[in-house]
A and B are shown apart, each in its own frame.
Chain A
Amino acid sequence: MDFRLNEEQQMLQDTVARLVRGEYSFEKRLEFSETELGFSADFWRQLSELGLTAVPFSEELGGFGGGGVEVQSVMAELGRGLCLEPYMQSVILGGGLIGQAGNDRQKENWLAGIASGELKAAVGLQEPQSYYDLNNVETRAEKNGEGYLLNGRKAVVIGGHCADLIIVSARTSGNSDSADGISLFAFSPDTDGVERRTYPTIDGAKGCDITLTNVQVGADALLGDEGQAGSVIEYQAGRAIAALCAEAVGVMEMANELTLDYLKQRKQFGVPIGKFQVLQHRMVDMMSELEQARSMAILAASVADSEQSDERRRVLAAAKNVIGRAGQFISEAGIQSHGGIGMTWEYNFAHYAKRLIAINHQLGDDDFHLERYAALLQAS
């Protein structure tokens, strides 16, 4: 048993950490967030130049052949910097869906671009009525002579505003909440009938809702077999969940470091407020929640790329549940411990707090995953 990173993994994490420290000061992040792009094109280019956008891809694609632990190493540091780049959406989820379901030609067209960072993918799996259930798909794809005609709306597509490639789920058959009959389509956002309503998100990123009105795509837009995408989506969402868990741990580490510093510096009644037991115990609780979260992020990373099974499903649901609860606790307890300064835009803590809450709204919150876990409960 050994929970340490190996030398390569440690180097990878150090590389990302150095880059984030150098390029992603809190002040710069606020500037990146306010641009039209919503993140730093320059930082994205540097991620790409250092080969970091290629981490999970095979060596033929210029990649690293990295698994869950390598992705975890990258995501944790992006979390510490509150980085806004669509790494999870494009590299992990977009790249993962194409890698698993795409045919040779699609992989050739898109994967190398995603791995090099030149092509940014965004993935629309949720819909206004779907809540977090990715099998709940009402967007229709009707087969016709030229390929497929898409109609429907995909909800809260993070990174969709600037994507070069949009991947959506759409129903080619079956009831609106059935895992059967879901297909994946990848196409340019410039296709006729694609309308994006772009917005900033509460945690400083950008996303959009995408309305598809008679969007005609070719047969070559279909990713994988028609109607068979349910299991692909579930598997790749699982990888994305593991990545989010790793990011969340990075965010929580910083949130706790900031809070601890503040307890030592801020004086009231003539002493640092960290002398007060009620604040000490809350700080210990924050550390303890972080350790629980860290354990689950490690476990999630260890199953992220293994074959699908109920055990993998359980671990990922458990991990996202713990991350969601721990994140909310640290967010709220940290703001409370900071007092008024924790409420301000100018001070960085609040932005960590917001990211933690936002992560709980991506790919299912703690309640959603608790329900999933409960459904997979084994009698003994």
Chain B
Amino acid sequence: MNMNYTAEELAFRDEVRAFLDEKLPADIAAKVKGFRRLSKEDHLRWQQILCKQGWYATHWPEEYGGVKWTPVQKHIWDEESCRYGVPRSIPFGVNMVAPVIIKFGNDAQKQHYLPRILSGEDWWCQGYSEPGAGSDLASLKTRAVRDGDHYIVNGQKTWTTLGQHANMIFCLVRTNTEVKNQEGISFLLIDMNTPGITVRPIITLDGEHEVNEVFFEDVKVPVENLVGEEDKGWTYAKFLLTYERTGLAGIGMSKAALSHLKQLASRRMKNGKPLIEDPSFSQRIAKVEIDLTAAAISNLRIIASVEGGGVPGAESSMLKVKGTEIRQAINDLARRAIGPYALPFVEEELDLAYDGEFLSDENAAPLSAQYFNNRKLSIFGGSNEIQKNIVSKMILGL
């Protein structure tokens, strides 16, 4: 029983800290810590800094430009980068399609796509969900029909995160309607500039443009853009989902959000005292901090077991549920902390360059919107109910 880092791990942590101290742009960190919007340029600028350090592709083998971190090192990176205000990496290219291409793609695909992901030349988005295929993903209907050297794709994808920035989309499409749902699906890589593709924004409840609908009308996709075998896409999709699920618990992000909440509660007043000293509010904070402490240890237990050669199974699903509930609870408290100022929606204060007088607290403006935005946490990456189905089947055998 040993919950401490080794000397090598501590040295790695120092290295991470030194790197972030030196290289993380202050304006980007300020945006992340203050829950401000990040532009495409912000993301790309940071990606280039990471690439230069060789720390961008942490799930890739070294031969493709990845870095070989142990599970503990990945964890250290996660903790430190959240603490420092490093932007959440946009996972669709580097952490989602790339592992699929590396495992199931052919050499030409590897040589073409992987360097472009590293360089930022390609911005990928994910074409999984459809209006009629959410939790029941395998019921998807977007159709790809072989026509000579091409597939002709027709259909609609939805909830496409940051699709407005993307030039590439990886799609699950139906290539066979004669077999069981899961057996007729293929995995296609599609250039967003192909004629017949339309991207339409979906404005979410917080007024943000983060997700999109993508329409396909007689879109011609070269057959060499098929990954692996035709009709075997569900296998690749499931492989990708296990990548998506690890890290969805967001322990590092919750720690950063909790620290932000406690600072906020130290500034806001109730009954002439800082809110953090108010009996009922301090107990609400205490409860979520305690839950986070337990979840963080559960996370370490999974990491230690993976480090020891184990495979993360449905424990990740259980932790995804707990972790997202905790983060939502922190967002809830941050909104409560500003009391009546949770009402004003002052868009100009969301801009980091804003130099006017703040209506209340300098960090108040995004809090209500963020609370609403993060209702998504328990819906995406497999809704929390789907995660419970997975645990029920895989761990409990029910």
> Which of A's residues lie within 8 Å of B, judged by CB?
1-6, 9, 69, 260, 263-264, 274-275, 277, 280-281, 283-285, 287-288, 291-296, 298-299, 301-302, 315, 318, 321-322, 370-371, 373-375, 377-380
Sample (22) of A-B pairs whose CB atoms are under 8 Å apart: A2-B308, A6-B1, A264-B398, A274-B398, A281-B392, A284-B392, A285-B388, A288-B322, A292-B322, A298-B3, A299-B3, A299-B297, A318-B290, A321-B287, A322-B290, A370-B286, A370-B290, A371-B279, A374-B279, A377-B282, A377-B289, A379-B262
For chain B residues 1-33, which have a beta carbon within 8 Å of chain A?
1-5
**B residues in contact with A380, CB < 8 Å:** 259, 262-263, 266
Q: Whose C-beta in chain B lies nearest to the C-beta of A299?
A: B297
Quick one: which of B1, B295, B315, B385 has the most chain A CB within 10 A?
B1
**A residues in contact with B1, CB < 8 Å:** 2-6, 9, 69, 298, 301-302
**B residues in contact with A294, CB < 8 Å:** 298
Chain B contact residue count (CB 8 A cutoff): 45
For chain B residues 278-305, which have a beta carbon within 8 Å of chain A?
279, 282-283, 285-287, 289-291, 293-295, 297-298, 300-301, 303-305
For chain B residues 57-100, which have a beta carbon within 8 Å of chain A?
72
Q: Whose C-beta in chain A lies nearest to the C-beta of B283?
A: A374
Q: Is the CB of A280 within 8 A of B286?
A: no
For chain B residues 295-330, which have a beta carbon within 8 Å of chain A?
295, 297-298, 300-301, 303-305, 307-308, 315, 318, 321-322
Q: Is the CB of B300 within 8 A of A1?
A: yes
Separation of A241 and B302 alpha carbons in the complex (Å): 25
Q: Is the CB of B293 within 8 A of A284?
A: no
A292-B295, A295-B298 are contacts. A280–B262 as well, Cβ < 8 Å? no
B169 to chain A, nearest CB (A): 33
Quick one: which of A2, A263, A301 has the most chain B CB within 10 A?
A2
A260-B396, A281-B388, A373-B290 are contacts. A291–B303 as well, Cβ < 8 Å? no
**A residues in contact with B279, CB < 8 Å:** 371, 374
Separation of A164 and B395 alpha carbons in the complex (Å): 47
Q: Is the CB of A292 within 8 A of B72?
A: no
Q: Is the CB of A370 within 8 A of B287?
A: yes
Among B293, B308, B389, B392, the residue within 8 A (CB) of A296 is B293
Q: Is the CB of A280 within 8 A of B388?
A: yes
**A residues in contact with B145, CB < 8 Å:** none
Q: Is the CB of B262 within 8 A of A298?
A: no
**A residues in contact with B377, CB < 8 Å:** none
Q: Is the CB of B291 within 8 A of A283?
A: no
Separation of A293 and B297 alpha carbons in the complex (Å): 10
Asked if B391 lies at the interface with its beta carbon under 8 angstroms from chain A, I say yes
For chain B residues 371-398, which have a beta carbon within 8 Å of chain A?
385, 388-389, 391-392, 395-398
A280 to chain B, nearest CB (A): 4
Q: Is the CB of B322 within 8 A of A1?
A: no
B258 to chain A, nearest CB (A): 9
